[in-house]
Amino acid sequence: MDLILIMKIKTYLYIIFCLLTPIPTFADSKKHQVYQGNSLNELEIWWGGDGISGNWFGWRSKLSEIGLQPFADYTFDIFGNTAGGIKRGTVYSGLLSFGIEVDLEKLVGWKGAVFLNSWKWLSGRDASEDLVGNFFTISNIAGFNTLRVFDLWLEQKLFDSIFSIKIGQFSADSEFLISDTASLFLNGTFGWPAFAYLNLPNGGQGYPMSTLGLRLQLQPVNWFSLQSALFQGNVFSQDVNRYGFRYRFNSENGATWFVESQFKWDEFPWLIKNPGGFKAGLWLQTGHNANQFSADQISTNTAIYFVFDQILFHEMSGLTQTLPSSKTTQPSISRKNVQAQTFSNQKSQNLENSQGLATFARFGVAPAQQNFTNFYFDTGFVYTGLIPYRDEDKLGIALGFTKLTSRAKSSLIDEGLSPLSNELILEATYKIQVNPWFYLQPNIQAIFNPGADSSLRDSLIVGFRGQVTF
């Protein structure tokens, strides 16, 4: 892409953004003050800190120094259905996430050990369930209203982090089947994809559900990792497993086994110029729930998937003005998807923090005889820092598609519906990073063939997200 054209587009967008946002933000006002050499007052330190609650009179930094990292954030979505679906209307969804991460090496000298405990408090309504009736969950924070334990695990790294083992309660979508680039989008299928939650028992081991598991990871070199995890097979429905402590290990509930290999080519610029990565994996499900259409007998089910992340265009240094950072030395407390540093999120640091244009693609197939959907595909593009001086803002567009199996359509016919063969989602969004602890994210979603129900018209969803980190 022509660099002069890119810079012209960025300049025009910056002018438009300035006209629409007369209130200065941390990226263009506070940083400018630092650049001019002015000292920061207490209000500016608070505004540019990592949390709205500040540094607790220095106690947050002191706790971090001894290995204790408390965290909390509140996320809210407001979505309105303007056309199609079940009915028009507006709903609110809220999610309070909180917990503590403990570096046991700092705290008690236990080298390479990390403990994490996190909780999710879900509130509000689900736009997909109440307004549209589609499979692709419109808000990826929506769920059954409850307070539920989400993470309760211990990780031990060995041999200079070449090998690690995690045991306890966690979710598969913290490390498996996830695209780093797609994390911008608000529809649930771009996180834990419909390919998983439509096929695995009660949605599988992805948000908002987690369960007991054991994960092993081997990373012999920086560019390759192999990991595998074994989970309780049936997480139970959200209204049954309300608080996250329903554990049942038997042949009826079975087990879910994930294995995934991960490659990245950041260290091979002579081969591929820009950072990127590729994942290939599979899962195996056992138990009575492995076959969705014959739950009265023990069976097995499997699926394979592929994930691709790549930066297409990377802004070169010197093309945009770089200002000195105004970030304070307070410890980072942003824990939207809390987990220990792994190969997966090490790669995401390269992908998510680089200004430029990135893309992702995921592909999954499963046997048609036992599953609700046997083909899934999503893809999209994200541009970070498109507008000058808005280096952390993100603009994205994404598409998701899933194809129903003939047995799935037969089950819908039995429910009195006249099913179609697929559902498709288009999402466009822009994340405005107001300051380090607050962002707003306008969002539009067009849903075609909602619920694969021929009686429902295509739906257009308009809304936004906000998040405050404490």
DSSP three-state, residue 396:
strand
pLDDT tens digit string along 221-244?
Answer: 999 999 999 999 999 999 999 999
Residue 421 DSSP class: S
Residue type, 48: G
pLDDT truncated to tens, each residue of the chain (470 aa)? 555 555 545 554 555 555 444 444 444 444 444 434 445 688 888 999 999 999 998 999 999 999 999 999 999 999 999 999 999 999 999 999 999 999 999 999 999 999 999 999 999 999 999 999 999 999 999 999 999 999 999 999 999 999 999 999 999 999 999 999 999 999 999 999 999 999 999 999 999 999 999 999 999 999 999 999 999 999 999 999 999 999 999 988 999 999 999 999 987 877 778 889 999 999 999 998 888 887 667 789 999 999 999 999 887 643 333 323 333 333 333 333 433 333 334 444 455 557 899 999 999 999 998 999 999 999 999 999 999 889 999 999 999 999 999 999 998 898 888 888 899 999 999 999 999 999 999 999 999 999 999 999 999 999 999 999 99
Helix (H) or strand (E) holding 11: helix 3-20
CA dist 98 and 70 (Å) reads 8
Tokens of 81: 């259905």
Look at residue 30 in the predicted model and tell me its pLDDT.
Answer: 43
Look at residue 17 in the predicted model and tell me its pLDDT.
Answer: 54
Look at residue 288 in the predicted model and tell me its pLDDT.
Answer: 87
Look at residue 316 in the predicted model and tell me its pLDDT.
Answer: 62
CA dist 304 and 360 (Å) reads 17
CA dihedral 210, 212, 193, 265 (to 10 degrees): 120
Is the separation of the CB atoms in 232 and 248 below 8 Å? yes
Domains belonging to the chain, first-starting first, are 3-469 (2.40.160.180)
| CA–CA distances in Å: residue 423 to residues 99, 189, 304, 445 | 36, 12, 20, 13
pLDDT tens digit string along 321-338?
Answer: 332 333 333 333 333 343
Tokens of 58: 């220095």
Tokens of 197: 């939650």
Look at residue 351 in the predicted model and tell me its pLDDT.
Answer: 53
405-442: b or e for each residue (b if 16 or more CB lie within 10 Å)?
bebbbebbeeeebebbeebbbbbebbbbbbbbbbbebe
User: What are φ and ψ of residue 369, in 5° steps?
Assistant: -65, -30
What predicted TM-score, i.e. pTM, was given to this entire model? 0.85
Helix (H) or strand (E) holding 90: strand 89-103
**Among 364, 334, 413, 441, which Cα is nearest to 77's?**
441
